[in-house]
Structure 1
Amino acid sequence: MSQQATTPPEDAELSHLAEPEHLDYGTRPPLWLTVVKWALIALALAVLLYVAQELIEAGHWLMVILVAFVAMCILAVYSTRRAVPLKYLLPGLLFALALQIWPLIYTVSLSFTNYGDGHLISKEEAISAIEASSVRPVEGSARFSLNIAVPEGQDAATGDLTYLLTDPDGNFFAGDLEGVEPLDPATVEAGISGRITSAEGFTILSASEVNDRSADLAEFAVPTETGGIKQIGLSEAFIGEPTKVWDEATDTITDTLTGRVYVPEGANFVPQDGVGPPLPQGWLENVGLDNYTEALTNPTLRAGFIKVLLWNFAFAAITVVSTFLLGMLLALLFNDARLKGRGIYRSLLILPYALPIYVTALVWSSMFNQDFGLINSVTGLDINWLGDPWMARLALLITNLWLGFPYMFIVCTGALQSIPGEVREAAAIDGAGPFRTIRSVIMPLLLVAVGPLLIASFAFNFNNFGLVFLFNEGGPFIGGQSQVGSTDLLISWAYRLALGGTQPNFGLASAIAVFIFFIVALISYQGFRSTKALEDVN
């Protein structure tokens, strides 16, 4: 008798769950949906094409390749009905690339350069700027009617300067550091004297705005084949010949008026005899590990780095511990069902978290003022909170405690409400008192939920630039120096190096930012390993 295999009834009922249904790719979507899809794809590709053209004009070929790759990904993913997961993942990947990965790569790349004030352009552009800024009038040369502008959309105080010129024949031109370009008369309006009063694509500066940028204009000139175009007053410009001439064979610049020779050194042209300052226009170049070496070996920077690093760790650690303990204790207090009006109290406690940090930091800074601050007035003390290094650190920690405990209170309240009541009842039956229950039962369960958030809070406060800058800008500064403040964090110190000095050095600041990244990454990695061990509590 042959034995026939049969499927049990219960297996037959579940058999439809064993094999997933395959999508029917033969079903066509509505026509309007297809049109919308391809319209959005075309719009995205058009935007990327425009970006690529701008990058090509700027000479950023690596970015052009990256933009082309992104365009290919969009076309490949969204033009087909397959790769469904990628349709959802691709936007997130692109945003991560644009907002996380690219800034990181760009910062690292800057750390290997001397990028900073006076070192923003190539050597060829620096030579052109030096020659153009040294022009003197050529006898018998024509004069231009002049107005000064910046490209439309740029800020008048920081935008790229542009000369709007009218020659004696009535032709219109726009001149910048790249040279002179003719303007279409149809896009230009001029006054009776021929001076341009408006031009498409440009914003003309007012007399006060021109005066504010007098220092920039003193070094600005439009390069030409024979020299440059230079401003005279507010309404005229002339064609001149340079008095500083570059010799390509010897790579030197000679001042034809004084006979002084300048040689390249440290991305600047410096006097060959070593007497006198270098020429103001420098150039961007790769310096290798010099910025890292400077940060680690320069006595001033090294002493400042170690001092700021130690305070940075202390500030972040004390902030996290203090805000967590206060937030947890308040959460335990207001988690008691016997307390009436808990909702009102909780709402009041999160008010500091709802206020903007720039308002709170400035208010607390004024409250700590020695002469008329609220704290000294109410307590009767005469403490120089913002002038003494240790008092300033204490004041900053108190301010950050006020700002940070509501967040921990909210997080701990939610975590406490997720702990089953039976756990506490079991601890009480076993004879555990309130403090033993908190230490041995509630705290381990609480840390499972809030452990990663404590690490994130440490990383945030490690780089809490906004609070430090608004509270006292990293001060006080001791010893007659203005580089390292007593409450400076690494991030505020890097900001001061990059933007606060007379010659900002973005390359050195980027190197310090790389140090900060690795420090925070190592601490976060170790912290997440520790919090992973807490999962065994469950």
Structure 2
Amino acid sequence: MKIPVLGLALALAVYAAFPLAEARAWGWLAVLVVVTGLIFAIYLSPRAVPAKYLVPGVLFLLAFQVVPVLYTAATAFTNYGDGHRGGKQEAITAIQSASVRQVPGSVEYTLSVALDGGGLKFLLLAADGKAYVGDGSGLQPLPDAEVTAGRITAANGFRLLNLGQATLRNDEILAFAVPTQGGAIRASGLTRAYTGQATRFYEAGCDCVTDRATGRQWFADENTGAFVAADGEHLAQGWKVNVGLANFARVITDSRIAGPFLKTLVWNLAFAVGSVLATFALGLLCALALNAKMRGRSWYRVLLVLPYAMPSFAMLLVWRDLFNQDFGLINRLTGLHVDWFGTPWTARLAVILVQLWLGYPYMFLVATGALQAIPREMGEAAAIDGATAWQRFRRVTLPLLLVALTPLLISSFAFNFNNFNAIYLTTEGAPFPPGNSSIGATDLLITYTYRLAFGGSGAQLGFAAAISVYIFAIVAIISVAGFRRSRKQEEVYS
């Protein structure tokens, strides 16, 4: 198997090398070459036997854990987000293309919209019969186009959209621009396009953008990655720059963010701790009840594990309907008319109850295993010494359980601290305060970060990455403290 597997690894490396070289990502290409060489050196050598087993896990760890964490941390020091995704030249091109207007004498084309591996493309047929393909990089000849009834109907390597498919992407097509010298090609409807003239253009002498019609100027600000006018107005299109600790400081110093952030952090901690304690208490209670010999014990255990066996995302949607104020089963069975998701405290109680139902089977399973590992002789010896059932549980059973289960409780805390599904699929962070839809009463930091990164008001990926670093630090500190506490317990009860 060695030769075929190494051959597959080499084929994948060669396959990945071409796009890296085309993108001029020389650093990543060097990493690819080094890793491929390392794999061959280890597996073709009769020595380094431990490395043969360790290398795959280490490579996957680096690829799927370390690199994403480092990339997120690096992004936190930038203004990366909507309007700041590319370089300065790309911003200039976008500004000029967005200001394109049709003028008398503009060249017109018959438009066909197509897709390829790189996204949307304009297939253009000029009045002289020449065919072109246009994208964000410019206009290129299209010699192999098939023309029928005065429009391009097929082209090698492109999938043309019919009128219905193009209608569904109408806004994207109308916003699309193919840059040209002094302007851009824009769509006029779904079947026609024109070469328009830019009303705003970049001047290298002043490093500014000037509006031809009004004479207004916006000067480049390298600190914010944007073109700024004298009155402070920013153009929407900017570029990615390093902003240092600005994103981290914004969380603490901006009153519009610091207050809601701290409130969300407190609720986040309460939700994680409450979920762990509630699920552990119920799971342990069930495990203790079924630890004794009884008829049908196996069937009871199967029934208790059922919530854990079902897809959580589906169960969360079901629970959302169960808590519905008007037709939810909970209000109907209890005769109440509670708007569970309408007020902060009822919504928070609801999500903790949902998490209790979803999480206690896991605690039941691990507690059952830990109970069976505790020697019965220890409980019997305590009973002979006169200890009551409660004293035996508190002084013997529970401490021994915590020695085994504390690492699992810590991992459960970390999971619930970032339990995106539990909130987003039930309340979506609601209820929201009047006039502020950015952060709700049941939002966790992870759902708040998601809304910042992908919300309708515009993605702030750099700022969201900074909050992700805060989340990572908080969970890491609490986890380290918990593991230290766990080691002390092991020393006491070992």
TM-score band (shorter)?
over 0.9
Residue in structure 1 matching 2:110, options 122, 138, 145: 145
Q: Structure 1 residue 170: deviation in Å?
A: 4.0
Q: Structure 1 residue 286: deviation in Å?
A: 1.3
Distance 1:447 1:201 in 2: 62
Whether 2:111 is the aligned partner of 1:122: answer: no
Which runs of structure 2 are paired with 1:105-504 in the superposition (5 Å)?
105-137=70-102, 140=105, 142-152=107-117, 160-183=119-142, 185=144, 188-193=145-150, 195-265=151-221, 266-274=224-232, 278-337=234-293, 339-504=294-459
Contact 1:134 1:243 in 2 (8 A): yes
Contact 2:429 2:441 in 1 (8 A): yes
Contact 2:131 2:141 in 1 (8 A): yes
Contact 2:174 2:189 in 1 (8 A): no
Unaligned runs of 5+ in 2: none
User: What residue in structure 2 maps to residue 93 of structure 1?
Assistant: 58
Q: What do residues 498-520 of structure 1 show as CA deviations (whole Å, max 9, x unaligned)?
A: 11241210111100000000100
**Helix, strand or coil: the match of 2:463?**
helix
Distance 1:331 1:418 in 2: 13
Q: Structure 1 residue 272: deviation in Å?
A: 3.9
Deviates more, 1:232-241 or 1:205-214: 205-214
Which amino acid in the other structure matches residue 210 of structure 1?
A: A
Q: What do residues 125-151 of structure 1 show as CA deviations (whole Å, max 9, x unaligned)?
A: 111122233334465554332212232
Deviates more, 1:174-183 or 1:102-111: 174-183
Contact 1:118 1:282 in 2 (8 A): yes
Q: What do residues 149-202 of structure 1 show as CA deviations (whole Å, max 9, x unaligned)?
A: 2324x7xxxxx32212233454433211112233451xx444231x33333443
Q: Structure 1 residue 382: deviation in Å?
A: 2.4
Q: Structure 1 residue 50: deviation in Å?
A: 2.6
Q: Structure 1 residue 279: deviation in Å?
A: 3.2
Distance 1:395 1:244 in 2: 54
Which amino acid in the other structure matches residue 125 of structure 2?
A: T
Deviates more, 1:389-398 or 1:280-289: 280-289
Distance 1:145 1:75 in 2: 54
Whether 2:472 is the aligned partner of 1:514: answer: no
Give RMSD over aligned pairs.
2.0
**Helix, strand or coil: the match of 1:288?**
coil
Whether 2:44 is the aligned partner of 1:79: answer: yes
- The verdict on how the C-alpha distance between 1:258 and 1:205 changes in structure 2, with shifts beyond 3 A counting, is farther
Distance 2:104 2:435 in 1: 52
Q: Structure 1 residue 472: deviation in Å?
A: 0.5
Distance 1:218 1:271 in 2: 27
Whether 2:24 is the aligned partner of 1:65: answer: no
TM-score (norm: length of structure 2) = 0.94
Q: Structure 1 residue 254: deviation in Å?
A: 1.4
Q: Structure 1 residue 209: deviation in Å?
A: 4.1
Distance 2:199 2:209 in 1: 10
Q: Structure 1 residue 264: deviation in Å?
A: 2.4
Distance 1:211 1:294 in 2: 41
Report the count of equivalent residues: 491
Q: What do residues 55-90 of structure 1 show as CA deviations (whole Å, max 9, x unaligned)?
A: 232343332232222222222222322212212211
Unaligned runs of 5+ in 1: 1-35, 155-159
Which amino acid in the other structure matches residue 162 of structure 1?
A: K
Which amino acid in the other structure matches residue 316 of structure 1?
A: A
Contact 2:370 2:401 in 1 (8 A): yes
Distance 2:31 2:45 in 1: 22
Q: Structure 1 residue 255: deviation in Å?
A: 1.7
Contact 1:133 1:230 in 2 (8 A): no
Q: Structure 1 residue 115: deviation in Å?
A: 1.0
Contact 1:77 1:87 in 2 (8 A): yes
Larger radius of gyration: 1
Q: Structure 1 residue 37: deviation in Å?
A: 2.8
Q: Structure 1 residue 455: deviation in Å?
A: 0.4
TM-score (norm: length of structure 1) = 0.87
Deviates more, 1:358-367 or 1:49-58: 49-58
Identical amino acids, percent of aligned pairs: 48
Which amino acid in the other structure matches residue 254 of structure 1?
A: T
Q: Structure 1 residue 309: deviation in Å?
A: 0.4
Q: Structure 1 residue 49: deviation in Å?
A: 2.6
Deviates more, 1:251-260 or 1:203-212: 203-212
Which amino acid in the other structure matches residue 236 of structure 2?
A: P
